[in-house]
Amino acid sequence: MKQKTIYTCQQCGYQSPKWLGKCPDCQQWNTLVEETPAPVRGGRPPLSAGAPLRLAEVAATAEAQWQVSKTVLDGVTLSSISVLDAQQRVEEIARMLGGVKITDTTRKHAAEMLGTAA
């Protein structure tokens, strides 16, 4: 399998799949250097500075995930915070990936991101 090459700006950490003469983030010239990331063996790949991430990717790398709920009772807003269990995390990340309609496919992707796929 061919390894993926990324180009990383040595000034700001911006990453691109192709070489650019000028970094679009920090506007510096000739600062992108070719890198070949080491293959990841088990577990989740590390987050790299400058790489764009989706919210679901960030949530999946966390050790724990919380849910904040708010209700209004007699004109007073009450908040509660709870830690999500493994199945609740799969559902929440599936919601982040798929929006309103959560399918078996989005649940499968969420479980894979969390490393809990069966």
Residue 53 has pLDDT above 80, yes or no: no
Instruction: Answer yes or no: do 60 and 104 share one domain.
Output: yes
Average pLDDT, the chain: 82
Instruction: Answer yes or no: do 35 and 61 share one domain.
Output: no
Instruction: Answer yes or no: do 77 and 34 share one domain.
Output: no
Across-strand partners of 79? 70
Q: Which of 37, 54, 47, 50 is nearest to 93 (CA)?
A: 54
Domain count, the chain: 2
Whether residue 115 contacts residue 93, with contact meaning beta carbons closer than 8 Å, is answered with no
pTM here is: 0.52
Neighbours of 113 (CB within 10 A): 22
- Four-CA torsion 44, 49, 50, 56, nearest 10 degrees: 40
Choose from 52-56, 73-77, 101-105, 113-117 the range with maximum mean pLDDT: 73-77
For 19, the domain range is 1-39
Instruction: Answer yes or no: do 31 and 60 share one domain.
Output: no
In a domain, 45, yes or no: no
The pLDDT of residue 9 is: 84
Residue 40 has pLDDT above 80, yes or no: no
